[in-house]
């Protein structure tokens, strides 16, 4: 998830960890520590340069710092800094046990949140280096911002801080609507929902607001996982026809859960190709057609289709033998395949179709070079997502 969401979750958890009657200094310490810990696993962005682009980002972001082993190491570092350093008196004043639990929960929740979307995580390394994908929540979600941000605004200790949080939320919502990512209907619902949440939260204590925000977020995410399952099921039913599915990737439009981007990965046993089909699915076609979905309109995806709730707008075929051949003779491609869930080769590049867009360049794209080239430094050993088709060799 985005770092704003991580920070808001940390702020909510900090409120619950505070001891009764905590003074201003203890409150500041707990809040700052939780926000830092909630974002600390993204420290891996600092060292992605140890491996040449784009491999450095693809292999190291959400890499070792997003594993159980990495989280334990980060917790030890924070403990060493806070419990044995100049902050130890302030930590003891707030309760060492409370503070320790706060740090552990904040770190763990970072990986939990990151597991919700299509990018994936592999938290069980080194015991298990496979990727796990939630395919349920977009990389940023305005409704989570609203639920958690309203509590953060009401819990702020000064009017200036309250207005700062409210201002950030308003600017984000309006900006997303202005560029077409969030529809106007959703923008209206967000502002109305924010007003209702703020009114209801005025009568609550700070811990109650944070509890309600976290509970509401959990309910929302649970709903999104349910909708993800429904979306995946509808894709399989609509596109059955004897196809051999390898994977079905679904990704919701932010702020508009009726609309989903769809990517099916199939194996053609006749041509020995991977067949990728991209589409837009509406879970409420009577109210919102696929052509009206923000992702479809934003990327101007082809001509309007039929009245079907699932509108296909592209097919890509990738010979399996060609990918295997590239992987066997090029360690760069083998390393790239540790990330690629929907790999395809076009115009001298290998890229992941999950992130192919008409709006921006595919950040996963890497040049495919004829001939030998030295292997890059600091490679990882994640299990390739398409090991089910291509094999598991990564060395």
SS3 letters for the chain? CCHHHHHHHHHHHHHHHCCCCCCHHHHHHHHHHHHHHHHHHHHHHHCHHHCCCCHHHHHHCCCHHHCHHHHHHHHHHHHHHHHCCCCHHHHHHHCHHHHHHHHHHHHHHHHHHHCCCCCCECCCCCCCCCCECCCCCCCCCHHHHHHHHHHHHHHCCCHHHHHHHHHHHHHHHHHHHHCCCCCHHHHHHHHHHHHHHHHHHCCCCHHHHHHHHHHHHHHHHHHHHHHHHHHHHHHHHHCCCCCCEEEEEEEEECCEEEEEEEEEEEEECCCCEEEEEEEEEECCCCCCCHHHCHHHHHHCCCCCCCCCCEEEEEEEEEEHHHHHHHHHHCHHHHHHCCCCCCEEEECCEEEEHHHCCCCCCCCCCEECCCCCCCCCCCCCCCCCCCHHHHCCCCC
Of the CA atoms within 13 Å of residue 250, those in its CB half-sphere come to 25
Domain limit, last residue, from 285, 313, 341 = 313
Whether residues 343 and 381 fall in one domain: yes
pLDDT at 301: 61
Exposed/middle/buried for 310, CB within 10 Å: 0-12, 13-18, 19+?
Answer: buried
Whether residues 4 and 28 fall in one domain: yes
Q: Domain limits at 331?
A: 320-390
Alpha carbon distances (Å) from 152 to 159, 203, 207, 248, 254: 12, 15, 11, 36, 21
Whether residues 363 and 378 fall in one domain: yes
216 belongs to a structural domain: no
Whether residues 11 and 68 fall in one domain: yes
Whether residues 372 and 341 fall in one domain: yes
Whether residues 74 and 19 fall in one domain: yes
Domain limit, last residue, from 291, 313, 335 = 313
179 belongs to a structural domain: no
What is the C-alpha end-to-end distance of the chain, expressed in Å?
A: 30
Collect the ranges in the chain with pLDDT lower than 70: 239-243, 300-307, 392-395
327 belongs to a structural domain: yes
180 belongs to a structural domain: no
Domain limit, last residue, from 63, 97, 114 = 114
Count of domains in the chain? 3
3-state secondary structure 185-200: HHHHHHHHHHHHHHHH
Whether residues 84 and 6 fall in one domain: yes
Q: Which residues pair with 366 in a beta bridge?
A: 350
Whether residues 326 and 293 fall in one domain: no
Whether residues 12 and 110 fall in one domain: yes
pLDDT at 303: 57
pLDDT at 304: 58
76 belongs to a structural domain: yes
Whether residues 17 and 89 fall in one domain: yes
Q: Which residues pair with 310 in a beta bridge?
A: 281
Whether residues 253 and 294 fall in one domain: yes
254 belongs to a structural domain: yes
346 belongs to a structural domain: yes
Q: Radius of gyration over alpha carbons of the chain, in Å?
A: 23
pLDDT at 358: 75
pLDDT at 93: 87
185 belongs to a structural domain: no
Whether residues 324 and 294 fall in one domain: no
């Amino acid at each position: 998830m985005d770092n704003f969401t991580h920070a808001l979750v940390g702020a909510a958890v900090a409120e619950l960890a505070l001891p009764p009657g905590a003074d201003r200094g203890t409150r500041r310490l707990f809040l700052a520590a939780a926000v830092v810990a909630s974002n600390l696993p993204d420290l891996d962005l600092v060292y992605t340069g140890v491996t040449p682009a784009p491999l450095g980002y693809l292999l190291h972001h959400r890499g070792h710092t997003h594993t159980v082993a990495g989280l334990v190491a980060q917790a030890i570092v924070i403990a060493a800094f806070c419990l044995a350093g100049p902050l130890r008196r302030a930590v003891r004043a707030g309760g060492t046990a409370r503070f320790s639990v706060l740090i552990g929960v904040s770190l763990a929740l970072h990986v939990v949140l990151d597991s919700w979307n299509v990018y994936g995580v592999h938290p069980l390394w080194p015991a298990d280096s496979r990727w796990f994908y939630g395919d349920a929540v977009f990389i940023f979600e305005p409704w989570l911002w609203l639920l958690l941000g309203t509590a953060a605004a009401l819990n702020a200790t000064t009017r200036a801080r309250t207005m700062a949080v409210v201002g950030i939320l308003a600017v984000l919502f309006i900006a997303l609507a202005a560029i077409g990512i969030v529809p106007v209907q959703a923008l209206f619902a967000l502002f109305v929902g924010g007003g209702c949440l703020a009114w209801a939260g005025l009568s609550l204590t700070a811990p109650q607001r944070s509890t309600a925000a976290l509970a509401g977020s959990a309910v929302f995410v649970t709903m999104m996982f349910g909708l993800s399952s429904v979306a995946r099921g509808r894709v399989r039913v609509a596109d059955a026809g004897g196809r051999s599915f390898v994977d079905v990737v679904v990704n919701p439009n932010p702020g508009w859960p009726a609309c989903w981007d769809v990517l099916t990965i199939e194996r053609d046993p006749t041509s020995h190709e991977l067949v990728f089909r991209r589409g837009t699915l509406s879970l409420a076609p009577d109210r919102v057609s696929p052509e009206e979905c923000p992702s479809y309109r934003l990327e101007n995806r082809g001509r309007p289709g039929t009245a079907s709730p699932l509108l296909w707008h592209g097919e890509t075929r990738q010979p399996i033998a060609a990918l295997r051949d590239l992987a066997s003779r090029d360690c760069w491609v083998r390393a790239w395949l540790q990330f690629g869930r929907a790999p395809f080769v076009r115009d001298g590049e290998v890229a992941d179709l999950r992130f192919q867009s008409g709006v921006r360049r595919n950040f996963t794209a890497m040049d495919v070079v004829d001939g030998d080239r030295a292997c890059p430094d600091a490679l990882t050993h994640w299990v390739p997502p398409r090991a089910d088709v291509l094999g598991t060799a990564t060395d």
